[in-house]
Structure 1
Amino acid sequence: MAGITNSAPSAAPPAAGVGAPGGGSYLGPLMTVTMLFFMWGFITCMNDILIPKLQQVFTLQNWQAMLIQTAFFGAYFIVSFLYFAVSVTKGDPILRIGYKNGIIVGLVVTALGCLLFLPAADLHSYGLFLGALFVLASGITVLQITANPYVSILGPPESSSSRMNLTQALNSFGTTIAPIIGGYLIFDQVSGAGEVTAESVKAPYIGLAAALLVIAVIIKLARLPRLTGDDGAGVVAGSGALRHRHLVLGIICIFMYVGGEVAVGSMLINYLKLPQIAGLDESGAKHFLSFYWGGAMIGRFFGAVALAQLRSNGVKYGIMAVIAAVTFGAVSVLYDLNQALIILGLITVNFGVLLLGRFIPNRTVGLYATAVIVLLLIGTFGQGAVAMWAVIGIGLFNSVMFPTIFDLAIKGLGVHTSQGSSLLVMAIVGGAIVPPLQGVFADVTGDVQLSFLVPLLCYLYIVYYGFVGYRTRALS
């Protein structure tokens, strides 16, 4: 997986460590690219704050509010489909312009989408908000297509799952703090105004646009290694990626995973408002949404350590213990001891399931999906604190799924790696389809709690992929 061009082969990545061809290091470029993962994680999770906010502003039903996710993740499908169509007929665009230029294009388009929130708020137009989200997500789609395979090949193949989990942990850090910052700016700052308007969404998205443009300048000035044909050589047409069975099944798996994860996060605030669960208001529920996404961050740090090529398991356990201790301390200080103890208990269960997986990527995915199914059943049919914390704990087990499924699906694709990546990113459209389906279920049945059976079906397929579907086989 050193490169994805069929011209003269690129210098192979080192067998261990972070050394780059020519004696350099991949560590600097890897740290630079991780900024992208943080930013799109932050922006994606802001949708979970926008849903209840715009639902208030425009008096929307659940399924109408979930169109926020449809507009956002629908862009993933449309832009990725167009990318795939171009790669089939004209050759891979990323191999033509290079990963660096592809990243810059994605950042600029994402910033433009953020700025479109200004006229949407001024004109009080829900449709324009959806259009702004579509543009914003189109830019993030380009970032996903370029950055995910870039991280996978930015070092030795045997530690690619570890790198993917590490960068996705930074993505999850963005999703963890987004509910806190976004909730404060969008809800708390206007809680006493007495008038429900969309004005409060303008400042956060102006700030995001500015940050994205600054990162684009940093990427432009950064020296990123040209691993896979940045000179345009070796660009090939055709749909050869689809000949790989594990990729095709992986595309379905990404669809199911993103659909399930986003559906749970999108409905979580409304779930916590239920009197039989917690009876919280939006402002009170936002930090529990942060726990949900924060669990994914902690789990991905665990995954990065577990799947890394370290000297011994003792070193891995020690690092994980430190991560758990820091998490416990942070929650104790920021919130209270009782919540910290509950989270520590969930982390302990997560670690136990990780041990059962024996640090094998596909096995870990299968077991984590099984754990999520159990938690969803508790959240669907239980009540009170037990049901609440079961759903919040799903974040911990979601953690390694996306980066590990992505890495499993693109293994062995060679020249078709970025084409396969575009197909996997296209499958993120699951986040546009599954949440509205859950919203419709909740509206039709009048039962938000029972609607969690919809994402449960998604995780059943992930169990299959983790234990069976990941195996590399060519389609006849």
Structure 2
Amino acid sequence: MPPVVSSADMPATGTQDEGVRYGPALTLLASLFFMWGFITVINNTLLPHLRSVFELTYFQAALIESVWFIAYFFASIPSALLIERIGYKKSLVTGLLIMAAGALGMMLAASIPSYGVTLVMLFVIASGITLLQVAANPYVAVVGKPETASSRLNLVQALNSAGTMLAPAFGAYLILGRSKSGTAAAGTVLTEAERLADAHAVILPYGLVAAVLVVLAVIIARFPLPVMSGGSKDGEKKKTRLLNPELLKHRNLVFGIPAIFIYLIAEIGVANLFINFVSRPDIGNMTHEMAGNYLSLLWGGMMVGRFAGSAIMQRFDAGKVLAVFSIGAFVVMMITVFAHGPVAMWSLILVGLFHSIMFPTIFTLGIKGLGPLTEEASGLLVMAIAGGALVAVQGWMADTYGLQTSFLLTAACELYVLFYALWGSKPTHVEPDLVAVEAE
């Protein structure tokens, strides 16, 4: 294990030599971003499917996604502790194997079929993704110049968006396209036999996902990844603690945690209700299978936005870029709430473009200047992804006030992101930077 090194002891980062050194590692890490984006967004096609199979209300369907994001809350700090104990590389492998176990469990849940087992297995998959998030996000942020960390994380998050863009087509074909509920007209009532047959449509896609995850775990286990280390004034790494008072000195982290939490309410609310909204007769007037294909455009917009954002942030301040994107997101969500027909549908699709840079940019702004506190800060920021669990609140709003009106909650979330971009993200205390020092 190499000695702890501070940024003051290291040469300037971001040179061509370092680009060569870290290029293969970043490429492999990008594959992780792709996979967890892919698996997360399968839920967007899974929810309307399960809503028909188990005859769920909007609230009950949204509760499935809530369980997924509650896992982030419970698994984040244990993930940070595990990384401290076994290192980043073994933690990445462990996270992939946990996800594979959950995917195999989804095959069992579909065979029974069981709503309860489905909830448990989604929790397991999300716990594995949480471990990957806590490890991979700060990893990417430190392998290069600190001032371009947001650009770098947006670049690999673009691969995450590539996964989210392909997942709806995968889910629409292998889940919705192979089920009665996915191909029937909106409002069709299924028989018990048809619901049982529909439940089995989940077995094949999750079997394929489990196989890919195991292969990726083997590849990473054999790959030489850089060791991430950090400096502190006394030259020793600080022990991870749940409530470290040192963290409170960093305004960008204190306001960044709720920024991640609130942003996830917006992103997940839009994605989960998209198919039901677009398929309505007064909006897109289409089947769930067709709406699933349009969902790919929403996630495709996020991929384009992240590639563009990565380039833009090479020249412009990340906070200012975040502010512009949050204003754009607020405007299109207000159009979605008050417009009808294709205008409302396309404005909802367009919000993907404006949401694109929000998570990676908030994350890198949140850990900026945290130095040896980065692991703890990363764990707390990933824990804040649990904000996606409050999509159940939007489900309740949709049941009570109407699906279209419920998107007012999304618009309100964009305003907090704007506040964070303009003021909350400004660092108030700076620690020595973390650096990647050598392969393990």
Which string of whole-angstrom CA distances, capped at 9 and with x for unpartnered residues, describes residues 125-160 of structure 1?
101101000000000000000000000011221221
Runs of 4+ in 1 over 6 A off after TM superposition: none
Structure 1: how far apart are the matches of 2:32 and 2:296?
A: 20
Aligned to 1:438: 394
Of 5-14 and 406-415, deviating more is 5-14
Which string of whole-angstrom CA distances, capped at 9 and with x for unpartnered residues, describes residues 242-273 of structure 1?
33121010000000111101101111111112
1:362 to partner: Cα distance = 0.5
Aligned to 1:462: 417
Structure 2: how far apart are the matches of 1:408 and 1:43?
A: 26
Q: Is the 8 A contact 1:241 1:417 kept in 2?
A: no
Structure 1: how far apart are the matches of 2:12 and 2:299?
A: 34
Aligned to 2:147: 158
Instruction: Identify which of 102, 108, 126 aligns with 2:91.
Output: 102
Letter matched to residue 389 of structure 1: W
Where do 1:114-193 residues align within 5 Å? Answer: 114-191=103-180
Pair 1:32-2:32 in alignment: no
Structure 1: how far apart are the matches of 2:16 and 2:380?
A: 28
Pair 1:198-2:154 in alignment: no
1:228 to partner: Cα distance = 1.7
Which string of whole-angstrom CA distances, capped at 9 and with x for unpartnered residues, describes residues 163-217 of structure 1?
1001100000000010001110001123479723310111111111110110111
Aligned to 1:406: 363
Aligned to 2:216: 215
Instruction: Identify which of 62, 65, 71 aligns with 2:67.
Output: 71
The alignment partner of 2:400 has SS state of helix
Q: Is the 8 A contact 2:369 2:429 kept in 1?
A: no
The alignment partner of 1:128 has SS state of helix
Structure 2: how far apart are the matches of 1:189 and 1:470?
A: 46
Structure 1: how far apart are the matches of 2:88 and 2:127?
A: 16
Instruction: Identify which of 244, 253, 259 aligns with 1:253.
Output: 259
Aligned to 2:292: 286
Structure 2: how far apart are the matches of 1:410 and 1:126?
A: 38
Which string of whole-angstrom CA distances, capped at 9 and with x for unpartnered residues, describes residues 289-332 of structure 1?
110011000000101122237xxxxxxxxxxxxxxxxxxxxxxx
Where do 1:236-315 residues align within 5 Å? Answer: 236-238=239-241, 239=244, 240-308=246-314
Letter matched to residue 56 of structure 1: S
Letter matched to residue 110 of structure 1: M
1:6 to partner: Cα distance = 9.4
What is the number of residues matched between the two proteins?
408
1:274 to partner: Cα distance = 1.8
1:76 to partner: Cα distance = 0.4
Unmatched tracts of structure 1, length 5 or more = 85-91, 310-358
Letter matched to residue 175 of structure 2: I
Aligned to 2:338: 381
Q: Is the 8 A contact 1:442 1:450 kept in 2?
A: yes
1:418 to partner: Cα distance = 1.1
Aligned to 1:348: none
Letter matched to residue 140 of structure 2: V
Identity of aligned residues (%): 43
Which string of whole-angstrom CA distances, capped at 9 and with x for unpartnered residues, describes residues 269-291 of structure 1?
11112222111110111111110
1:474 to partner: Cα distance = 4.6
The alignment partner of 1:206 has SS state of helix
Structure 2: how far apart are the matches of 1:83 and 1:25?
A: 27
Aligned to 1:337: none
Which string of whole-angstrom CA distances, capped at 9 and with x for unpartnered residues, describes residues 402-427 of structure 1?
11110000000000001100000000
Letter matched to residue 14 of structure 2: A
Structure 1: how far apart are the matches of 2:42 and 2:385?
A: 17
Q: Is the 8 A contact 2:79 2:130 kept in 1?
A: no
Pair 1:364-2:321 in alignment: yes
1:118 to partner: Cα distance = 1.6
Which string of whole-angstrom CA distances, capped at 9 and with x for unpartnered residues, describes residues 432-461 of structure 1?
11x11111011112x111110111111110
Instruction: Identify which of 373, 397, 404 aligns with 1:449.
Output: 404
Structure 2: how far apart are the matches of 1:261 and 1:38?
A: 17
Relative to structure 1, the CA distance from residue 96 to residue 459 in structure 2 (aligned partners, 3 Å threshold; closer, same or farther) is same
Letter matched to residue 58 of structure 1: F
Q: Is the 8 A contact 2:265 2:410 kept in 1?
A: yes
Q: Is the 8 A contact 2:240 2:375 kept in 1?
A: no
1:18 to partner: Cα distance = 4.9
Q: Is the 8 A contact 1:19 1:155 kept in 2?
A: no
Structure 1: how far apart are the matches of 2:278 and 2:20?
A: 50
1:236 to partner: Cα distance = 2.1
Letter matched to residue 392 of structure 2: P
RMSD: 2.0
Letter matched to residue 159 of structure 1: T
Aligned to 1:12: 10
The alignment partner of 2:280 has SS state of coil
1:391 to partner: Cα distance = 0.6
